[in-house]
Amino acid sequence: MKVPRILVYIIFSFIVAAVLYFFFGSGGLLDYRRLIAYRGSLQDNMDDLERINGELLTEVQALGSDPERLTLKARELGYFREGERVIRIANDSSRKSTYTVGKVLRRKAKRPQADWPFRATGLVLPVLLVLVSVTVRRRKNRENGNR
């Protein structure tokens, strides 16, 4: 049984469009790789936040149990006892924040991916193949007719 040539072209075009869509379409292999990379950065961020949380819990426990440390921390924050003399140095840039804040990761808004090239490939490719096939046949017929 001979399969019509147009059917072969349609099947071939469908396969080409499906492969293109699989690799480059929305939800395809490239999108999957980007998502895996984003997942890794989220996991790293969670690990950092858990580390910071552990440090802060240790700090809270130390402040609750050690009055001297609590006094030093209060002085760092600008609190002093009555009667204490305070000497402030102007333009003291050596003071830095004692707390580390984690970073907030935001997912970039994904603009919709244009899948029309893959659909157009599936629709236009069989037509082009038929036109090429008809043109080649006509040339062969003309060459055979001229002899």
Q: Is residue 54 part of a domain?
A: yes
Q: Is residue 29 part of a domain?
A: yes
pLDDT digits (tens, 9 = 90+) for 34-77: 889 989 998 998 999 999 999 989 988 988 898 888 888 888 88
121: nearest Cα among 28, 23, 10, 30: 10
Distance separating alpha carbons of residues 49 and 55, to the nearest angstrom: 10
Distance separating alpha carbons of residues 12 and 7, to the nearest angstrom: 9
Q: Is residue 109 part of a domain?
A: no
Q: Is residue 73 part of a domain?
A: yes
Predicted confidence at residue 93, as pLDDT, reads 61
Q: Is residue 67 part of a domain?
A: yes
Q: Are 13 and 20 in contact (CB under 8 A)?
A: no
pLDDT > 60? residue 1 = no
Cα dihedral 130, 135, 136, 137, rounded to 10, equals 90
Predicted confidence at residue 100, as pLDDT, reads 64
Q: Is residue 80 part of a domain?
A: yes
Say what the pTM is: 0.51
Q: Is residue 37 part of a domain?
A: yes
Q: Is residue 95 part of a domain?
A: no
Number of domains comprising the chain: 1
The parent domain of residue 29 ranges over 5-85+117-146
At a CB cut-off of 8 Å and minimum separation 6, what does 46 contact? none
pLDDT digits (tens, 9 = 90+) for 86-105: 777 777 665 565 666 777 77
